[in-house]
Structure 1
Amino acid sequence: MVVVMNKTINTMYFSPTGTTEKIVSGLAEKISEKIDREIAIKNIDFTLPGVRNETVSFAGEDVVIIGVPVYAGRVPNVLLKYLNSITGNGALAIPVVVYGNRNYDDALIELKDILELNGFTVIAGGAFIGEHSFSKILAQNRPDEKDMAIVSDFANQIYTKITTQDNMQTVAVKGNRPYRKYYMPKNEQGIAVDIRKVSPKTNDNCIDCKLCVNVCPMGSIDDEDVSKLNGICIKCGACVKKCPTQAKYYDDQDYLRHKHELEVGFADRREPELFI
């Protein structure tokens, strides 16, 4: 017997460099392929600040796959206000976190808790790896083909759970309560350093194309002078990685030391972790 799933598939993600988007969209597409009716995936990309001003509410017939990158082992704190404004109303949710091959620490359990507090039933969750926002070599080009095969298998498991369980069971995921503090890098003396105020510089390669202005998820890069910031930098990597002339760069020594430390110390391939 073919089971018809009368659910609407929704995706939500914050994805400045596209890694989280690839995972979340891949899951949604594979789940929709399993459904024996035509289905349109509803998408909310909340990477840019204007979208995060809009109210979002779901209903019991919705399945929501929501993804965020891991910053310092946690859900990015700049997203907490927005995430806590989303209303679930009994919708099924699959939280996804994407990290740069170091660790996802308590990000997944934090995102799960946020969703449950806002009325979602969390039925699965996953921690995936994407190219690190600081680096072009740490977890380079991930999620890759192997990762996406795991995404496809995970989608099959989610579909099976949705279509075979009458009383949907919530899922347990890895993490600590209370959550660990945000991960902080250390200097050569082993003293924690704060790189939150570090921001990118602009070199003479700049052709003033304004691409960096358009991709900044905080809306912080000045439209008149792209070398200036009018707000915070969250080190998402979008302006550096997407610049067509490699005009954006970081020169802060604590930042660069931490970047090198990550590239050397966490070079071994990590694999996704799934919970269902």
Structure 2
Amino acid sequence: MERVITFYFSPTGTTEKVVKELANVIAEKKNCGVLHYDFTLPMKRTDYPNIMEGDIVVAGVPVYAGRVPNVLLEYLSGLRGNGARAIAVVLYGNRAYDDALLELRDILDNACLDVVGAAAFVGEHSFSYDLAMGRPDEKDLETARDFANRLSLKLDSETTELSIKGNPNYKEYYIPLDEDGNPVDIRKVQPKTRNTCMDCKICARACPMGSIPEENVKILTGICIKCGACIKKCPVEAKCFDDPDYLRHKRELEEEFKERKLPELFL
């Protein structure tokens, strides 16, 4: 019996929204159940969904610096698909998804998943409230539903060939430049905590790297991947970044990539 399985990493919920929309429509068309597997938090990255040959997997990740987040690569290498069919989905913040979708397709291929469709959707940028504000929005979700209907037809056919935009020799991770054109390394930039913090622990529980300890949410005990979860989920806007290079890069993104980009679909 067929099942639809979602498999996603979504610190701010944008990837989750699209993946679930696709999965729900496919499940309705196929008259089968849906199993959700969210590996956003560290404790979920110790196991994998039990995927069987007849399953349909909708796998999604956000795009960080034009690629699949490098902190996920080791975990994703342990996925086993057992010949099930899959749809690859990436969410990017209206700049570019570069080679991330192709990279995700290759990861799923290596996991013995038969990728029959792929899509790059736009989500509100993790750095910003203004860049791709509120996306994926209803227009995006309408596109997702239409794509899911088309996917359902392909899943009933024998054709599984798929061509995806991207360079097989993936680009290096995108690096911002300063005003003089020199590379700027923002990887070590850490979120700060304002005095408005209520110590509600939401940021600690939302951090996908487990880097914010509940006993002291004002410090960082591990890496920060700039996913925006602690900032966007804080009810009193107590978390922020104040690094000048980070803020300049954020402004540049907001100014340069205002034009609405549309989802790109591959079937």
The sequence identity of aligned pairs, in percent, is 56
Q: Does 1:131 align with 2:124?
A: yes
Indicate the residue corresponding to 2:152 in structure 1: 159
Q: Does 1:71 align with 2:64?
A: yes
Indicate the residue corresponding to 2:211 in structure 1: 220
Alignment of 1:1-276 (within 5 A): 6-35=1-30, 37=31, 39-163=32-156, 165-166=157-158, 168-276=159-267
> C-alpha separation between the residues in 2 aligned to 1:72 and 1:170?
28
Number of aligned residue pairs: give it: 267
Tell me which stretches of 4 or more aligned residues in structure 1 moved more than 2 Å. none
State the one-letter code of the partner of 1:246.
E
Contact 2:188 2:224 in 1 (8 A): yes
Contact 1:15 1:21 in 2 (8 A): yes
> C-alpha separation between the residues in 2 aligned to 1:88 and 1:33?
22
Indicate the residue corresponding to 1:3 in structure 2: none
What RMSD, in angstroms, separates the aligned Cα atoms of the two structures?
0.9
Task: Provide the secondary structure at the position in 1 that maps to 2:45.
Answer: helix
| 1:55, distance to aligned residue in structure 2 (A) | 3.6
> C-alpha separation between the residues in 2 aligned to 1:268 and 1:175?
22
Contact 1:13 1:24 in 2 (8 A): yes
Query: What are the Cα deviations for residues 43-100 of structure 1, in whole angstroms up to 9, with x where unaligned?
Result: 1000000000114442210100000000000000000011111001101010100000
Query: What are the Cα deviations for residues 83-137 of structure 1, in whole angstroms up to 9, with x where unaligned?
Result: 1110011010101000000000000000000110110111000000000000000
Contact 1:12 1:45 in 2 (8 A): yes
Alignment TM-score, normalising by the size of structure 2: 0.98
> C-alpha separation between the residues in 2 aligned to 1:162 and 1:56?
21
> C-alpha separation between the residues in 2 aligned to 1:121 and 1:179?
21
| 1:170, distance to aligned residue in structure 2 (A) | 3.1
Alignment TM-score, normalising by the size of structure 1: 0.95
**Tell me, which stretches of 5 or more residues in structure 1 are unaligned?**
1-5
> C-alpha separation between the residues in 1 aligned to 2:127 and 2:16?
18
Contact 2:3 2:27 in 1 (8 A): no
> C-alpha separation between the residues in 2 aligned to 1:244 and 1:58?
37
Contact 1:99 1:127 in 2 (8 A): yes
> C-alpha separation between the residues in 1 aligned to 2:82 and 2:26?
22
| 1:237, distance to aligned residue in structure 2 (A) | 0.3
**Tell me, which stretches of 5 or more residues in structure 2 are unaligned?**
none
| 1:141, distance to aligned residue in structure 2 (A) | 0.2
